[in-house]
Amino acid sequence: MYALADHAWRSLRDFYSDQVIVITGESGSGKTEASKLILQYLGFATGKSKELETVRQQLLLCNPVLEAFGNAKSLHNDNSSRFGKYIELEFDYKGEPVGGLITHYLLEKSRVTVQHPGERNFHIFFQLLAGADVQLLKSLKLQRNTENYLYLRNNHSNPSVWHQSDKDEFFNTKKALESVGFSAEDIVNIFRIVAAVLKLGNLIFTPVSNIDGTEGCSINNDYELEEVATLLMIPAEELRSALLYRTYSVSCSAMDAHGMAVGGGGGANCFSRDSTLPRDSTTSRTFLGNNHQSHSQPQQLLLQQRTSLLSTSASMVGRDMYQMMDGCHGSDVGFQAALASRAYQDAKDDFVMTDLSAAEATTGRDTLCKALYYRLFTWIINSINERIKVKQHGKRRILGVLDIYGFENLPVNGFEQLIINYCNEKLQHYVTEIVVKEEQEIYMQEGLEWSPILFPDNLAVCDLIEKHNLGLLAIMDEECQRSTNGSDDAFLSRVGQVFQDNIQIEVAWGLLSKNADSTAMNAFRLKHYAGWVTYNVAGFLQKNSDLLVRGLSQSMYQCAHPIVKELFPEGNPRRTTLRRPATSGTQFKMAIIALMRSLRSKNPHFVRCIKPNAFKQPHHFDVQTIQQQIRHLGLLETAQVKKNGFAFRQPYAWFLQRYKMLSTVTWPHWGGVAIEGAARLLRDLPISATEYAFGRRMLFIKNDSTLMQLEDFRRIRLNDLATLIQKTFRGWATRWLFFKRRQAQIKIAAAWRRYKADAPLRRMRWRLSSVILAGCCLLCLPMLFCFRVLVTSFSLLRLSARREYLELRQRRRMIEAVLVIERSYIQWKRRRYLNRLAIRLPSTSPTCREWPNVALFLRDTNQILKKLYHVWRCHRYRIGFDQIGRNRMREKVTASLLFRNRKESYARSVAHPFQGDYVRLRQNSQWRKLVNETSDQYIVFADIVSKITRSSGRLVPVLFVVSTSSMMILDQRTLNIKYRVPAADIVRISLSPFLDDIAVFHVKSFDNTSSSVANLQTGCLHFQQSSESSVLSPSFGNKWKGDLVLQTCHVIELVTKMFLVVQNAAGKAPEVNVHTDFEVSVGHQAVEFSFHCTGPTEVQPGHVRIVRRGYRLEVTL
């Protein structure tokens, strides 16, 4: 876990791309523990600053809170997550966590009211009862015994063991709530709602018969109701009214004098769609009231309305009122008469109130409890998100951790199991598509050698569940929208009709199913990726619609409890919208689609959890259980793809940009094609060529260890570069400081020298002052006159020197100005030349020879720019090729280097592209069977050529094939291999310089009498019965043959391709001899080939005469 988390975090930090860790597995396989380990590592592996410590603690302490409110004991797991959790951790550019976001998916809220045998309710209920102190329990109106609460009586575990564990966990949960940022008041308010759910579950509804014969109910334990009202801060009578009665609003403001709704279509729109009206007039009774009065009026108003209605005839109530309600389904006359007889024409917003039976009240209570707990759970997660969200701006990257509920197959599976397994189907489809399907498609698109691996695809099951209008969820929504005859049985019947011919589903409704032993009655059986699962449809539509009665929502909104008021915003009387909310299935489907979209935008990492046994026993591995999970999760196909495939792939440009500093050739800039730069870079590194492969657009790396090795090299090189930058900067800073100090020293020395030079003048001035003083005293005028003359001469000398200095300075400034003007003029001329050249640039075709003329003094620059432009457009022309085009260009360039000005027939081959397979041998099924036995799968050249016999010089047509590892001569009809020569055994290729189409392939051979390397001979063929033999010839056995002499109209192409194949196979290029006379080995003999051209220059292929004269073969053209 730590290694995977470290790899994901380092990928986010180093590659600066979003990552996601997807944890999958069955229920009870350890997904929650795996996510905790991952979050623990991410919390402790990052920085340790004080600001980050708070964020880290909040992210880590979210888990205890989510587990307390969202986990429960199930048949497969004592700490099973009953909700989906997707945590997005946000990191800055340094890889430090700065915040996060938690998204939850479909809490199993039905567990609040009903649990399967052997399972428990959510942990928080037991933690609160076991860990809270006496004072807190007293304030919450709770008792420590779990048997006192109906919702907790399904616990069959050891009470003492769970009591101690829950007690310890309660303190951890409370501490986590405080650490995340909840105040003490918020924590108490949360516990008040939890306690209210427990107390609501204890309400007992007793059936009562009204005086008009209708059925109602009453609460048997009013003290529980009082305590619930105290916890929720709502008047008890208002809560009682919301639980025992149901209100239907009626819009009658637009009625005419006869009771018709003007433009409203009769009474069809008079009742709001709060809930379904009762259809049996003998089981409930109806009250009419005015909604202008406050909805929170005390119980006296309701009693007054009931008294006024009961004073009328019971038959009138039973007949007229229910005709009014049935008017919503077509009985407009009864509805108008009832309204007219009750004189409610002036009311603008009236309502109808009915009694609820005990069963209906119990259902409403359970719905309220589930809504309270589910919305509290959502409120807690939203509050946590507000506290851990990113507070700072800037670019951030996301690392997501997906921990979602595992696949479930219980003895009785319902709506929740269908939703959970649908989520697992989507996740399995995502994992299979990313790991197996898309990976193989990329290999094939990139042209890599790959044998397809078959894998199971569960897309059909996903479509069966989620398909628009025809999926299970769509059919369920359609049945939920039916106001009259929508039921679980109707849903099952509809499923049976739609999927009658679908082999993925079996339906049993009223009749035996296709497999009566495996499918129960009133259920359907769905084939998931992990096997068949049977779903009982009882309660499907109710759980899917899951509508809360508007009266209960309005009552909850009237609560003074600060959190409850936020949980039921639809209860606000000012909200006039009555639009039906989306069903639970539709909401979950939209959430899963958004989740899949988010996962596909990130680089995935997978954790596949395997459950060792089905009995929750440690140190016990059930082989059958493990094998079944491995097959269902597709781990065999995944392992096969990972083993034969590549662990890392990136486009060439990206790879070169990241690792270019590892080679002196590509650093700091690579000016060529990216694929060539990547190849040159890898050649300079100590990495084996088997560890990577080149595709058309991407580079593939085989193992993660190679990628880690590259990252280590890069990290070391970056440290060296950082050291170089620091060294350079420090050297520059030191030099700058030295020059500054030297300048300061020069100024100080100059000032000191000036001061020393002025010392005689200062002394003379002092003496002059003394002489003047003495002359004045002695009236020695002649001496004074002489001294004045001396001073004047000295002053004139200083003026002359200063004048000369000023002239020199002026001359220097003039010279500098001339140089500046000259530089500016030259730069202006260059700039004008470049601007004009940019406008008059010739075509980008490499064959274009045009170039604009310029002035004489720019001739050298013009020639340099012409060469650079030609190199650039040739580069542009080259990068326009794909890998196949580059290979063909390489062959053409090689042919030019080999035969230009050497072979007369070369000029005719320039305009013709090299096709290689002229006989379409790649599509031959017999050839595909043959290559499985050899390593000659990739064909370089295949054509019908003429083999020249060594004895008589006759031409024999044969099928000649060149693969990447050998050249072969095959029988045209049977494709049997007559000769097979490994490419590494070809040492020389000889041709004549004329227009003939003859080529000779010289093959090295070993003496079959000795295996010594010293006995190596050149120029003859040998036959050995091994896979690596130079020639395989079943007809000649071990008889020595000679070099191959062939004639083909594609001789230039054949020799060029053979040259490249030998160069790649042997590691060095073969010699290409173009001459009129050369020797050819025939067995142990050497025969001299001699070419003579006596006919016209243009000789068509085949117009040659071959004559053997002893040990000499003469070819006359």
Question: Which residues, 6+ apart, have CB-to-CB distance to 922 below 8 Å?
Answer: 939
Q: What share of the chain is helix, strand, coil (3-state, %, to 5)?
A: 50, 15, 35
Q: What is the pLDDT of residue 741?
A: 92
Q: In this structure, are residues 93 and 86 in contact, taking their beta carbons and an 8 Å threshold?
A: no
Amino acid at 931: V
Record the tokens describing residue 348, joined without a space: 């603008």
Q: What is the pLDDT of residue 390?
A: 83
* Rounded CA separation 545/1051 (Å): 78
The upper half-sphere exposure of residue 318, i.e. CA atoms within 13 Å in the direction of its Cβ, equals 14
Q: Are strands 986-991 and 1071-1074 parallel, antiparallel or unpaired?
A: parallel
Q: What is the pLDDT of residue 607?
A: 92
Query: Which secondary-structure segment (H or E) carries 677?
Result: helix 674-683
- Specify the pTM: 0.63
Record the tokens describing residue 982, joined without a space: 């490994």
Q: What is the pLDDT of residue 50?
A: 66
List, in sequence order, the alpha helices (H) in 536-673.
540-545, 550-557, 562-567, 584-600, 623-632, 635-644, 652-659
Q: What is the pLDDT of residue 941?
A: 92
* Rounded CA separation 830/852 (Å): 15
Q: What strands lie across the sheet with 350-355, from one edge to the other?
A: 245-250, 350-355, 286-290
Q: What is the pLDDT of residue 1025?
A: 35
Query: Which secondary-structure segment (H or E) carries 439?
Result: helix 438-445
Instruction: Report which of 240, 552, 605 is spatially closest to residue 402, judged by C-alpha positions.
Output: 605
Buried b (16+ CB within 10 A) or exposed e, 233-262: bbbbbbbbbbbbbbbbbbbbeebeeebbbe
Kindly list the averaged pLDDT for each block of 10 residues, start to end, along the chain of length 1117.
89 87 87 88 74 75 90 86 90 85 89 88 93 92 90 63 76 91 92 94 90 85 91 92 80 37 34 37 42 40 38 34 37 37 40 84 91 94 89 81 86 88 89 86 87 85 87 88 72 87 78 43 86 88 82 89 90 72 86 90 90 84 87 85 87 91 89 89 88 90 89 91 94 94 89 80 74 60 66 74 82 89 88 86 85 83 90 84 80 90 87 86 80 75 86 82 89 84 90 89 63 35 36 40 85 92 88 89 79 63 71 80
Question: Which residues, 6+ apart, have CB-to-CB distance to 33 below 8 Å?
Answer: none
Per DSSP, 1009 falls in state T
Record the tokens describing residue 245, joined without a space: 């009665």
Q: Can you tell me which residue has the tokens 């300061």?
A: 744
pLDDT tens digits, one per residue of 274-317? 433 333 433 444 444 444 333 434 344 344 444 333 333 333 33
Distances (CA, A) of 591 to 370, 383, 472, 586, 588: 20, 20, 17, 9, 5
Q: In this structure, are residues 649 and 662 in contact, taking their beta carbons and an 8 Å threshold?
A: no
Task: Kindly compute the dihedral angle of the four CA atoms of residues 671, 675, 678, 683, in this order, to the nearest 10 degrees.
Answer: -110
Instruction: Report which of 630, 626, 632, 635 is spatially closest to residue 606, judged by C-alpha positions.
Output: 635
Per DSSP, 293 falls in state S
Amino acid at 328: C
Handedness of CA 444, 429, 33, 175 (dihedral sign): positive
* Rounded CA separation 602/22 (Å): 11
pLDDT tens digits, one per residue of 510-548? 433 444 444 456 889 899 988 899 998 888 888 888 778
* Rounded CA separation 533/211 (Å): 50
Q: Are strands 84-91 and 397-403 parallel, antiparallel or unpaired?
A: antiparallel
Q: In this structure, are residues 547 and 533 in contact, taking their beta carbons and an 8 Å threshold?
A: no
Buried b (16+ CB within 10 A) or exposed e, 517-533: eebeeebbbbbbbbeeb
Q: Can you tell me which residue has the tokens 């000769």?
A: 979
Q: In this structure, are residues 171 and 112 in contact, taking their beta carbons and an 8 Å threshold?
A: no
The upper half-sphere exposure of residue 383, i.e. CA atoms within 13 Å in the direction of its Cβ, equals 21
List, in sequence order, the alpha helices (H) in 558-633.
562-567, 584-600, 623-632
Record the tokens describing residue 719, joined without a space: 């440290």
